[in-house]
Amino acid sequence: MELASIHCLGGFEILIRLFLVPTLLTKLKRCQNGLDGTRPAFDQLTKSCMERKLPVKSWALAESLAMEERGEALRIFDVDHEKSPTLAEITLKLTDAGGSSNDNANIVHWISDGIKAQNDQWELLLISHPIVC
């Protein structure tokens, strides 16, 4: 029985050495390259925030506290973002705005807002799917 256990453990060790270790080393190297590549931009951003007297030190303190406590404390890293409205949502909002005494101006604004929304949609499409010639 013990010989079989040792044999199985040896196979597992070989599996780790052949596959897991090289994979982890590759990931480590990619992480280090990523950090080295973003370090100048991070330093420039930190310098700019300090020049504008933003609370960089309190942010760093909050980060280290979150890293120590883990769990719910890590929620400070969640990004608050809003999805941009679709053309249909913009149109609905503009039509529900109600009428006023200056209907011609409202129609012009409604048309220009629609054109801007359509243009924004095209820009987002081109950013996410660039055309390569």
- CA separation for the pair 121, 127 (Å, rounded): 10
Q: What is the full per-residue pLDDT of the chain (133 aa) written as tens digits?
A: 454 554 555 666 777 777 788 889 999 999 999 999 999 988 898 888 888 888 888 888 988 998 899 888 888 888 777 788 888 888 888 777 655 556 666 777 777 888 888 888 888 877 877 666 5
Of 44, 64, 118, which is closest to residue 86 (Cα–Cα)? 118
Count other C-beta atoms under 10 Å from residue 63's C-beta.
14
For residues 16, 20, 22, 23, the Cα torsion angle rounded to the nearest 10 degrees is 180
User: Residue 31, exposed/middle/buried by CB under 10 A (0-12, 13-18, 19+)?
Assistant: exposed
Write down the domain spans for the chain: 2-77, 87-128
pTM of this structure: 0.40
Angle (CA) 13-17-18 rounded to 5° is: 115
- CA separation for the pair 89, 95 (Å, rounded): 10
